[in-house]
Amino acid sequence: MKPLTILILGGTGFVGSRLVPRLHADGHCITILSRNRERHRDLGVLPRVRIENADVHDRAVLARWLRGTDAAINLVGILNERGNDGGGFQQVHVTLTEGLLEACRTAGVRRLLQMSALRAGEGDSHYLRTRGEAERRVRESAIDATIFRPSVIFGPGDGLFFRFVDLLRLTPALPLARPQARLTPVYIGDVAEAFARALADRATIGRTYELFGPRSLSLIELVRWTARLAGRRRWIVPLPDALGRWQARLGEWLPGKPISRDNFRTLLLDSAGSVDGLAALGIRAMPMEAVMPGLLGGTSRRA
């Protein structure tokens, strides 16, 4: 395909930091809108990438930056909010998506890649509910959109394995809410590849791709495996749901908010898909066993 001019929202985050170099390798010109470009100058060293300060919640600002571009990519998302009323999720997932769609119409941009989540629109969590609402807004628009629903994403510096490594350092025992919740972690490189291939293939327009890894495991299995890789002998204490809910309430007040009530509600649904979106895009899913031992090994011998 010919090189495109792309505007990315959320391009400095975990997924964006891998996706931007992948798109740049295809020859695309990329503009990333950020709240603080000075904190992300590393991405700006790529010759066809620029990072600009902008308020992405301002629809007029979005329309101005979208003029003359071929496609928009929305990676913006949050896992926690202040409080527990869903207002933060609504603002970031739904209202921002509505603003982006309006700005695309104003600027004449037809192509959109939208990040969502497995099980979006299901269950009682504000996170999944608002992800589902945002998907519905995209589908109801006239824009040429592709939606991605990843499971939990792993890779260097992720918020999954590396978060548990940090928690395991703090205490000899780790109480764990929703220990039997099932996950199908997907590799960050596979997610970036899925976006890149969908952008190059107009047959993906109007489709939703579930992105998940080749292995399904429970949360407690994942945490125990993480402890072994990191060389941490810890007692992982599975909590019944009644205690898990109290842990989630307490976690909202701890530094870093390791768990919240909404996280707990999200974990009531297994993060598992039904149709392999990676395979549909011709991508062979990377197993976590091929990546994480080298990242989490506590000694050179273990790594």
pLDDT of residue 256: 79
Q: What is the mean pLDDT of residues 273-290?
A: 97
Task: State the pLDDT at residue 23.
Answer: 98
Cα separation of 107 and 60, whole Å? 10
Instruction: Report pLDDT for 171.
Output: 85
pLDDT-based confidence at 37, cuts 50/70/90?
Answer: low
Q: What is the pLDDT of residues 184-214, one digit of tens each?
A: 999 999 999 999 999 999 999 999 999 999 9
Taking the mean position of all CA atoms in its chain, how far away is CA 53? 22
For residue 300, what pLDDT is reported? 39
CB 147, CB 196: distance < 8 Å:
no
Identify the band that residue 182 occupies on the pLDDT scale cut at 50, 70 and 90: very high
pLDDT of residue 38: 62
* Residue 68 scores a pLDDT above 90: yes
H/E run at residue 173: strand 173-176
120-129, 224-233, 249-258: least confident range:
249-258
pLDDT in the model for residue 301 = 47
> So what's the pLDDT on residue 84?
87
User: Which residues lie below 8 Å from residue 65, measured CB to CB, with a gap of 6+?
Assistant: 7, 31, 33, 52, 54
Q: What is the pLDDT of residues 94-134, one digit of tens each?
A: 999 999 999 999 999 999 999 999 999 999 999 999 999 99
Residue 292 predicted with pLDDT over 60: yes
Mean confidence (pLDDT) of the chain: 94
Q: Which residue has the higher pLDDT, 36 or 247?
A: 247
DSSP 8-state class, residue 90: I
Can you tell me whether residue 38 is helix, strand or coil? helix
Q: Is the pLDDT of residue 24 over 80?
A: yes
Q: So what's the pLDDT on residue 302?
A: 47
Q: How far is CA 40 from CA 62, 66, 79, 173, in A?
A: 20, 21, 21, 36
| In the block, residue with structure tokens 């599975």 | 238
Rg (CA), the chain: 19
254 confidence band (pLDDT: 50, 70, 90) = confident
For residue 40, name the pLDDT band (cuts at 50, 70, 90): low
pLDDT of residue 79: 94
pTM for this structure?
0.94
Q: For the domain bounded by 5-153+186-212+272-285, which CATH number is listed?
A: 3.40.50.720
User: Six-digit token pair at 124?
Assistant: 């009682």
CA dihedral 27, 34, 208, 133 (to 10 degrees): -160
pLDDT of res. 287 = 97
